[in-house]
Structure formats: structure tokens, C-alpha cells
Chains A and B, each alone.
Chain A
């Protein structure tokens, strides 16, 4: 495996780009499913930065944190999608602007 030639700083630039794209998507979209997807992109870019840092110093800590990020993403998505179902049921809409009053 050619793991010796990959420039780490370019991976960090890529992680920054992905994070900014995710943040842009989060601000642009009002559909709650797309907002959850943008959150996934942002979490994933942070995981990429951790893996790159772990590879740069040859330590296992980067991959350990990656696994914690994975657990956080799984918990967040399961609760978030449950909320999506409830929102659809009670407001007949997925638009975040319809949910600003907190009481349906």
C-alpha cells in the first residue's frame, strides 16, 4: 500500500473544504432531511482530519476518535430521523420554517 507518499496538508485542505461545503448546505437548505445530511458531511470531514492527523504522527488515537465520531453520528441520526418522522406526522411538512414555534 502506498501510504507513504500522500501529502497530509492536502488532506487537511480537503477536510476544510468538505466542512465548509457542509456548513454552506446547512445554511442554504431548510428541508430537515438535507440539514441532517449536511451535518453528516461536517462530521465526516472532521473524522477525515482526525485520520489524517493520526496517520501523520503514526498514532492510533486518530482512528480511535474516528470511532467515537462514528458513534456520535449514529446516535444523532437515529434521534434526528425519529424527529423527522414526528415532524412530518404533526406538521405535514419537512420545512424548518414551519417548526419555529416549537409547539405544533
Chain B
């Protein structure tokens, strides 16, 4: 096994382990840190797949912006010990066996489908220049739609957060 392959499987293992840990924590702040580790491991996988620009975006936007937004909200809500106890109670076996069974069936089906594809290891690196040419060539309509979606998200987030702040101010007076 070459070093590249070893590092690849190491990053894949870290991504899986930290994702499982993130979604089974009772404390939201701990879960967020595990999720950030998982995103960084996936960024490493992007590098191995020959997509350095996507890896950089994964770190800058996913781990850097989206997860920091989560961290801000968790800090703002200041979750109490009582909610943590409630979360621990939710993680009881009686709660997770049914979703576990359903997703296990789904996973087996997915893996069965994936056995049909033949093994392929010849990966070609795609550099940012090609991505940019494609993004602003055939996909320019998609870029416009994405910008409108982001604008709608901005307006929606402002609307919801604005009311939150206003109500907070009213209560303090």
C-alpha cells in the first residue's frame, strides 16, 4: 500500500468516525467541533481526488463560515445542563433501533448498487481554471440562480433575525 493510499484511507476513517461522534453527542458545542473535524477530513479527500479548489472552498466556506454560524447560534442560545440531560435521554437504545434498522437496510442497498461499478483508479486532477471556464460558460444560468437563492436566504435570515432582536429589545425595556 502506497503512502498516498494510506493517507487517503486515514482521512476517510477520520471523516466517518468524527461524523458518527458529531451526531451522537449530547453537547451541541462538542458535536460542532467533531463536525468541523469531519469537514476538514473531507477537504483532505478532495485534495486526493485532484480537486484543490473544492478542498479550499470546503475549508473556507463550510468549516470557516457555515460552521462558525452554527457555533455563534449555539453560544447565543446558551444551552443549559437540563437540555443536555434531555438529549442524553433521547439517545437511549429504544429511540435509535428503528431508525438504525431502516438506515442499515438503505445502506445495504446502496452498497449492493455500488458493487456493480467496475474498479477505477485513474483519476484526473481538475484545476480551478477549468472549473471557472465551465462555471461561467455553460453553467452561467446556474450561477445566476444560485445568486438569487443566496439573496433570498439573506432576506429570509434578516427577516427572522430582525424580529428576534426587536423582541429582545422590547423585553429588556
Contacts and interface: CB of A to CB of B under 8 A. Distances in A.
Interface of A: 1-14, 16-25, 27-31, 33-34, 36-38, 40-41, 44, 48, 51-52, 54-64, 66-68, 70-79, 81-86, 88-89, 94-95
Given A72-B146, A82-B161, 10 more contacts: A29-B90, A33-B28, A34-B28, A34-B87, A37-B31, A55-B124, A55-B126, A64-B131, A66-B51, A85-B77
Main secondary structure of the interface of A (DSSP, over half): helix
A8 B31 contact: no
A58 B50 CA distance: 9
Contact of A3 (B35, B50, B83): B50
B82 to A, nearest CB: 11
10 contacts: A3-B49, A28-B95, A28-B99, A38-B23, A44-B42, A44-B62, A55-B51, A72-B149, A74-B61, A94-B79
Contacts of B95: 28
Main secondary structure of the interface of B (DSSP, over half): helix
B91 A28 contact: yes
A2 B48 contact: yes
Contacts of A4: 121-123
A16 to B, nearest CB: 4
B77 A88 contact: yes
Contacts of B134: 60-61, 64
Contacts of B23: 21-22, 24-25, 28-29, 34, 37-38, 41
Contacts of B156: 78-79, 82
B125 A74 contact: no
